[in-house]
Amino acid sequence: MKTMRWLFSMQLLMMIAASAAGQTIVQSVAETGDTPTAVDNDFTRINDAVQSAVDGDTIELQGTFDWTETEAAASWALGSDGVAATGDEFFLTVPAHDDLTITAASLGAAVIQGPGDLPDVDLEGVFDFTALPGESYNNLTVSNLTILGFDLPIGMFHGGGPSTAFNGTTITHNFLGMPADLSGNFGLDLGEPFQNIGIHYAFGSDQTISDNVIEIPGDGLSDRSDLDPANHEIAATVAMQSNTSGGSVYEGLLIDGNEIRILQAQSADPEVIYGIWENGHAHSANITVSNNRFLNLAAGNDPTLNIQNAFRVTSHSSLATTTTYSGNEVRGAHLGLAQLTGFGGQDFSAHEPIQVTGNTFADNDTAVLVRSLGKDVLRCNRFYGNNLAIGNEGAPEDADAVENWFGCNAGPGLGSCDGIDANVGAAPWLTLGISAGSPTVKAGESTVVAVDLLRHSGGGFAACIVPDGAAVDFSATGGGVAPASSTLAAGIAATTFTAGGADGIATVAALVDGEIQGLFLDVDATETDLAITKSDGLYDALPGTVLDYVLEVANLGPSNVAGATVQDLLPPELTGCTWTCTPAGGGTCTAAGAGGVDDSVDLPVGAALVYELSCTFTAPADQVFNTATVTVPGGITELAPGDNSDLDLTYSSLITIFHDGFESGDTAAWSSTTGGP
Can you name the residues that pair with 471 across neighbouring β-strands?
Answer: 487
pLDDT tops 60 at residue 541: yes
Q: Would you say residue 96 lies in a domain? A: no
CA distance 20 to 26: 17
Q: Would you say residue 287 lies in a domain? A: no
Please state which of the ranges 121-125, 339-343, 394-398, 672-676 shows the lowest mean pLDDT: 672-676
Same domain, 570 and 644: yes
* SS3 labels along 650-666: EEECCCHHHHCCHHHCC
Can you name the residues that pair with 125 across neighbouring β-strands?
Answer: 152
What does the pLDDT read at residue 630? 97
Q: What is the DSSP string of 347-360?
A: --TTSBPEEEES-E
CA distance 291 to 23: 33
CA distance 196 to 179: 8
pLDDT tops 60 at residue 658: no
pLDDT tops 90 at residue 263: yes
Q: Which of 507, 524, 541 is the last residue of a domain?
A: 524
Euclidean distance between the first and the last CA atom of the chain, given in angstroms as a whole number? 104
Q: Who has greater pLDDT, 311 or 671?
A: 311
Same domain, 516 and 588: no
Per the CB < 8 A criterion, the answer to whether 515 and 385 are in contact is no
What does the pLDDT read at residue 482? 98
Closest listed residue to residue 177, CA positions, set 196, 156, 195: 196
Q: Would you say residue 10 lies in a domain? A: no
pLDDT class of 623 with cuts at 50, 70, 90: confident
pLDDT class of 653 with cuts at 50, 70, 90: confident
pLDDT tops 60 at residue 11: no
- Return the DSSP state at 544: T
CA distances from 262 to 153, 272, 299, 593 (A): 17, 12, 11, 73
383 in helix, strand or coil?
A: strand
What does the pLDDT read at residue 676? 38
* CB neighbourhood size of 545 (10 A): 17
pLDDT class of 188 with cuts at 50, 70, 90: very low
What does the pLDDT read at residue 21? 61
Q: What is the DSSP string of 201-235?
A: E-S-SS-EEES-EEEE----B-B--SSSGGG-B--
pLDDT class of 381 with cuts at 50, 70, 90: very high
CA distance 186 to 575: 106
- Give pLDDT tens digits for 492-533: 999 999 999 999 999 999 999 999 999 999 999 999 999 999
Strands 574-584 and 592-594: antiparallel
Q: Would you say residue 544 lies in a domain? A: yes
Q: Which of 427, 462, 478 is the last residue of a domain?
A: 427
Phi then psi for 256, rounded to 5 degrees? -140, 135
pLDDT tops 60 at residue 271: yes
* CATH code: domain of residue 564: 2.60.40.10
Percent of the chain with pLDDT over 70: 91
Closest listed residue to residue 261, CA positions, set 301, 307, 231, 295: 295
Average pLDDT, the chain: 91
Same domain, 573 and 479: no
CA distance 430 to 99: 47
CA distance 576 to 637: 35
- Give pLDDT tens digits for 131-170: 999 999 999 999 999 999 999 999 999 999 999 999 999 9
CA distances from 1 to 52, 55, 80, 139, 426 (A): 21, 22, 14, 19, 44
Same domain, 539 and 644: yes
CA distance 638 to 527: 6
What does the pLDDT read at residue 342? 79
Can you name the residues that pair with 547 across neighbouring β-strands?
Answer: 615
Same domain, 517 and 559: no
134 in helix, strand or coil?
A: coil
Per the CB < 8 A criterion, the answer to whether 292 and 276 are in contact is yes
- Give pLDDT tens digits for 190-242: 334 578 999 999 999 999 999 999 999 999 998 888 898 888 888 899 999 99
Sheet containing strand 446-456, strands side by side: 430-436, 446-456, 492-499, 479-482
Enumerate residues 6+ apart whose C-beta is below 8 A from 634: none
pLDDT tops 50 at residue 673: no
Q: Which of 524, 540, 561 is the last residue of a domain?
A: 524
pTM (2 decimals)? 0.84
pLDDT tops 80 at residue 85: yes
pLDDT tops 80 at residue 671: no
CA distance 649 to 229: 103
Per the CB < 8 A criterion, the answer to whether 17 and 60 are in contact is no
Same domain, 423 and 486: no
381 in helix, strand or coil?
A: coil
pLDDT tops 70 at residue 78: yes
Burial class (CB in 10 A: 0-12, 13-18, 19+), 227: exposed
What does the pLDDT read at residue 192? 46
CA distance 432 to 394: 30
Q: Would you say residue 558 lies in a domain? A: yes
Per the CB < 8 A criterion, the answer to whether 109 and 134 are in contact is no
* CB neighbourhood size of 44 (10 A): 24
177 in helix, strand or coil?
A: strand
Residues spanned by the domain of 356? 319-427
Enumerate residues 6+ apart whose C-beta is below 8 A from 576: 615, 616
CA distance 145 to 28: 13
Q: Would you say residue 141 lies in a domain? A: no
Find the mean pLDDT for residues 254-274: 96
Length of the chain as a residue count: 677
Same domain, 543 and 575: yes
Please state which of the ranges 169-183, 186-200, 401-415 shows the lowest mean pLDDT: 186-200
Burial state string for 349-368 with b = 16 or more CB within 10 A and e = fewer than 16? eebbbbbbbbbbbbbbbbbb
Q: What is the DSSP string of 612-632?
A: EEEEEE-S--SEEEEEEEEEP
Per the CB < 8 A criterion, the answer to whether 457 and 409 are in contact is yes
Find the mean pLDDT for residues 98-102: 98
Q: Who has greater pLDDT, 3 or 388?
A: 388
Please state which of the ranges 179-183, 376-380, 567-571 shows the lowest mean pLDDT: 179-183
pLDDT class of 248 with cuts at 50, 70, 90: very high
Same domain, 502 and 535: no
Q: Would you say residue 483 lies in a domain? A: yes
* CB neighbourhood size of 469 (10 A): 11
Per the CB < 8 A criterion, the answer to whether 127 and 146 are in contact is no
Please state which of the ranges 228-242, 304-318, 389-403 shows the lowest mean pLDDT: 228-242
Sheet containing strand 307-313, strands side by side: 92-93, 125-131, 152-158, 196-201, 236-242, 272-278, 307-313, 335-339, 366-370, 388-392
Same domain, 488 and 591: no
Find the mean pLDDT for residues 47-60: 97
pLDDT class of 655 with cuts at 50, 70, 90: low
Number of domains in the chain: 3
- Give pLDDT tens digits for 592-622: 999 999 999 999 999 999 999 999 998 666 7
What does the pLDDT read at residue 548? 96
Q: Who has greater pLDDT, 111 or 394?
A: 111
Same domain, 414 and 457: no
**Max CA-CA distance within the chain?**
127
Same domain, 488 and 450: yes
Whether the CA torsion 304, 305, 311, 316 is positive or negative: it is positive
Same domain, 582 and 459: no
Q: Would you say residue 26 lies in a domain? A: no
pLDDT tops 80 at residue 413: yes
What does the pLDDT read at residue 640? 96
pLDDT class of 184 with cuts at 50, 70, 90: low
* SS3 labels along 51-114: HCCCCCCEEEEEEEEECCCHHHHHHHHHCCCCCCCCCCCCCEECCCCCCCEEECCCCCCEEEEC
What does the pLDDT read at residue 121? 84
- Give pLDDT tens digits for 327-337: 999 999 999 99
597 in helix, strand or coil?
A: strand
Q: Give the relative orientation of helices 42-51 and 70-78 as an angle to the nearest 10 degrees.
A: 40
